[in-house]
Structure 1
Amino acid sequence: MPRITPHSAFKTLPLVDIRGLFSTTPADRAEAAAALGDAASQAGFLYVTGHGIDPQVINGLKQRAAEYFAQPLEQKMQDYIGHSSNHSGYVPEGEEQFVEGSIDHKEAFDVGFDYPSSQGRRPMLGANRWPALPGFKQDVKAYYDAVFNLSLTLFRGFALALGLPENAISQYVKQPPSQLRLIHYPFSPQAPTDRPGIGAHTDYECFTILLPTAPGLEVLNGAGQWIDVPLVDGAFVINIGDMLEVLSNGRYVATSHRVRKVAEERFSFPMFCACDYDTIIEPIAQLVDAATPGRYGPLVCGDHLYAQTLQTFRYLKQRLASGELSLPDGAKGLSSFGRAAHAMEV
């Protein structure tokens, strides 16, 4: 196989002002896209400013998340994700497990692309399970919609950076199984230091738009070192996921990351940006030639998401073990992409 250019031994994340992506001038969009692509190649993780999302929308999300997680566990369990039809709802501590024998110290509420129609339903696509908490649906959906629109801009930026038409990827993002997670990391002085907020992993989708409220995130650089990701006021953190690694034929590589034991209560709001469920994810034809042959076989976007989720959520693993559910054809194991996966190829 051809050698994958590794990430640099970066010590800090690149910062990119993306306001040029919103310009009506093609040269402005191309310039911002080039900076976006350089950062993605160098680190696979970056900060973006100039995103244009209203701070009031962000504050509304933070307020509703704090209110929701402050409720008693019995109340939150009424919204348990295992009761949903589209993998949405409350995720109690220990439900999601990336590493066997290790329980992440976190709880979450998951929101998908709200798809109430009965037509075209898929395992990860359907109507959201919304809690009864006043204002929650309104404010969380407002944030989801704003960040979803930002994701379309970023999809166009990444396409430009790869030398493709602007809509080369975004044309496949109409009703995607893109998920927003509201994650709460409680501060517990008694928790062992080796118990992480979340274990090391790559994200399954194309890329993630992350809004954290406190430090704790660490990313793996090209030298195999864990690098701290401090907060940058007004910035989102963007990271490359499995599917953009495939689409770009390895020009962008999914980056492993984790959340260490937090030193204070922490909220984190990742938006996992995917293509439509039935989109075939494979190296884009224009990025494959004799010098850079295709490195990846095709996978179905939604099936890959579903397969990874089946292998990490307790309620789904139980249904898998009982035979009620089965892995999609060609399902990959966890951590099949990213730097760690490439290291295993050597």
Structure 2
Amino acid sequence: MTPFEALPIIDIRRLFSANPADRQAVAEELGRAAREVGFFYISGHGISAERIAALRAATTDLFAHDFDWKMACHIGLGRGHKGYVPEGSEFYGSGRPDLKEAWDVGFEAADDHPFVLAGQPLISGNKWPALPGFRDSVDAYYADVFALGRKLFQGFALALGQDEHAFDALVTCPPSKLRLIHYPVDPSARDAPGIGAHTDYECFTLLLADQPGLEVLNGEGHWIDAPPVTVDGEELFVINVGDMLEVMTAGQFVATTHRVRKVQHERYSFPLFFACDYATKIRPLPEFDPTGERAAEYPDISIGDHMWSMALQTYRYLREKVANGELALPANARGTHTFGQFKALAE
């Protein structure tokens, strides 16, 4: 990883081109940014300003409701680990609870879906509040940004030397979570993390935020601001490599450590964590680990079990269930700080 001072911007319009050479050219830019930084902005993504505005309006309306109203859809009620996450519910690197509230929405799965019937954690229908227009706005945004994630995954496949459709069949009903995150105004929280230092657990993340606060750790151990960027009226998405792409590349793509700080203004953030289906086993691709030596550094664990084990170690209500023996970590579960620069520091 390089001592970068700013995130690169990649125009992905040619990723939608009918010309294979155009798509390959964008893929090479994706691969370079993933190797050198692990974070980058994308322009030309095709998500309309109207779609984004509708999501913001619905989210603002949602979090304006009182605490008891929101707690009726608490994430711990029912199955699927979806719904409202009150402030102080999550713990990352600092050991202190995060200063935010959130609403988690996942890939919609009917009760009779095979993955639901198999009892896979994180797979279920969503909790939808009794709020006119909320589901329509959030569903529409989820569909658009998830489709963008599929296109980016094809670009990453090309960047990894694979056929661009190599990973398509691995994404049918994944635990891909969209988080609607609200950072309230709290002057006393200025020097505390909104979200502590961490890596993302999935393949990659597509983030849209309306205020500064995101910081990314560079190759020299310095925190670099990654504020919202608008170019020619288009809000750019921030894309970052997650743990599973790091595994695929045996560490050549790094799950870059990041955090949210300096929450001086009310802030809304919308990350979509793009994942493969729950049971998908992620291992280093042969091109990046021809001898198989690096495979021993990574757990033989499904992407879903990795995500579930991270949730069990992060969310207060799940940590309590693990502590009292109601739930247990999956076999081969790793600690929350064992990828990206955390992994390098441990070596």
**TM-score band w.r.t. shorter chain:** over 0.9
- Give the C-alpha shift of residue 287 in structure 1: 2.8
The question of whether the paired residues in 1 share the 8 Å contact of 2:299 and 2:334 is answered with: no
Q: Cα 1:318–1:100, aligned 2, differ >3 Å: closer, same or farther?
A: farther
Query: Within 5 Å, which residues of 2 pair with 1:41-56?
Result: 41-56=35-50
Q: Cα 1:335–1:293, aligned 2, differ >3 Å: closer, same or farther?
A: closer
Question: Helix, strand or coil: the match of 2:156?
Answer: helix
Distance in 1 (CA, whole Å) between partners of 2:272 and 2:286 is 27
Query: Residue in 2 aligned with 1:319?
Result: 321
Distance in 1 (CA, whole Å) between partners of 2:280 and 2:223 is 33
The question of whether the paired residues in 1 share the 8 Å contact of 2:249 and 2:284 is answered with: yes
Query: Residue in 2 aligned with 1:65?
Result: 59
Q: Cα 1:225–1:114, aligned 2, differ >3 Å: closer, same or farther?
A: same
Query: Residue in 2 aligned with 1:102?
Result: 96
The counterpart of 1:25, out of the listed 4, 14, 19, is 19
The question of whether the paired residues in 1 share the 8 Å contact of 2:190 and 2:264 is answered with: no
Question: Helix, strand or coil: the match of 2:318?
Answer: helix
The question of whether the paired residues in 2 share the 8 Å contact of 1:103 and 1:195 is answered with: no
The question of whether the paired residues in 2 share the 8 Å contact of 1:84 and 1:129 is answered with: no
Q: Cα 1:221–1:184, aligned 2, differ >3 Å: closer, same or farther?
A: same
Query: Residue in 1 aligned with 2:122?
Result: 124
Query: Residue in 2 aligned with 1:185?
Result: 183
- Give the C-alpha shift of residue 330 in structure 1: 0.9
Query: Residue in 2 aligned with 1:239?
Result: 240
- Give the C-alpha shift of residue 88 in structure 1: 0.5
AA matched with 1:75: W
The question of whether the paired residues in 1 share the 8 Å contact of 2:300 and 2:332 is answered with: no
Query: Residue in 1 aligned with 2:269?
Result: 268
Q: Does structure 1 residue 227 correspond to structure 2 residue 229?
A: no
Query: Residue in 2 aligned with 1:257?
Result: 258
Describe the superposition over 1:92-129 as per-residue Cα deviations: whole angstroms up to 9, x where unpaired. Answer: 00111114641211000000111013332111101111
> Comparing 295-304 with 329-338, which one deviates more in the overlay?
295-304
AA matched with 1:270: P
AA matched with 1:337: F
The counterpart of 2:337, out of the listed 335, 338, 343, is 335
The question of whether the paired residues in 1 share the 8 Å contact of 2:215 and 2:223 is answered with: yes
Question: Helix, strand or coil: the match of 1:82?
Answer: coil
Distance in 2 (CA, whole Å) between partners of 1:192 and 1:232 is 24
Query: Residue in 2 aligned with 1:310?
Result: 312
Q: Does structure 1 residue 157 correspond to structure 2 residue 155?
A: yes
**Gap runs ≥5 in structure 1:** 1-6
Describe the superposition over 1:158-196 as per-residue Cα deviations: whole angstroms up to 9, x where unpaired. Answer: 11011111122232111100000000001112x143321
Describe the superposition over 1:208-260 as per-residue Cα deviations: whole angstroms up to 9, x where unpaired. Answer: 00000100000000000000012111200000010110012211010110011
- Give the C-alpha shift of residue 290 in structure 1: 4.0
- Give the C-alpha shift of residue 328 in structure 1: 0.7
Distance in 2 (CA, whole Å) between partners of 1:100 and 1:12 is 25
**Gap runs ≥5 in structure 2:** none
- Give the C-alpha shift of residue 37 in structure 1: 0.9
Distance in 1 (CA, whole Å) between partners of 2:329 and 2:93 is 19
Q: TM-score, normalised by structure 1?
A: 0.95
Question: Helix, strand or coil: the match of 1:79?
Answer: coil
AA matched with 1:74: D
The question of whether the paired residues in 1 share the 8 Å contact of 2:195 and 2:261 is answered with: yes
Query: Residue in 2 aligned with 1:208?
Result: 205
Distance in 1 (CA, whole Å) between partners of 2:292 and 2:196 is 36
Q: Cα 1:181–1:192, aligned 2, differ >3 Å: closer, same or farther?
A: closer
The question of whether the paired residues in 1 share the 8 Å contact of 2:74 and 2:84 is answered with: yes
Question: Helix, strand or coil: the match of 1:268?
Answer: strand
The question of whether the paired residues in 2 share the 8 Å contact of 1:247 and 1:283 is answered with: yes
The question of whether the paired residues in 1 share the 8 Å contact of 2:284 and 2:294 is answered with: no
Distance in 1 (CA, whole Å) between partners of 2:328 and 2:291 is 38
Q: Does structure 1 residue 199 correspond to structure 2 residue 205?
A: no
Q: TM-score, normalised by structure 2?
A: 0.94
- Give the C-alpha shift of residue 293 in structure 1: 4.8
Q: Cα 1:120–1:192, aligned 2, differ >3 Å: closer, same or farther?
A: closer
- Give the C-alpha shift of residue 288 in structure 1: 2.3
Distance in 2 (CA, whole Å) between partners of 1:292 and 1:35 is 28
Distance in 2 (CA, whole Å) between partners of 1:186 and 1:97 is 18
Question: Helix, strand or coil: the match of 1:21?
Answer: helix
Question: Helix, strand or coil: the match of 1:67?
Answer: helix
Q: Cα 1:134–1:208, aligned 2, differ >3 Å: closer, same or farther?
A: same
Distance in 1 (CA, whole Å) between partners of 2:180 and 2:238 is 15
Question: Helix, strand or coil: the match of 2:287?
Answer: helix
Q: Cα 1:124–1:25, aligned 2, differ >3 Å: closer, same or farther?
A: same
The question of whether the paired residues in 2 share the 8 Å contact of 1:184 and 1:268 is answered with: yes
The question of whether the paired residues in 2 share the 8 Å contact of 1:88 and 1:111 is answered with: yes
Q: Does structure 1 residue 285 correspond to structure 2 residue 286?
A: yes
Distance in 2 (CA, whole Å) between partners of 1:99 and 1:285 is 32
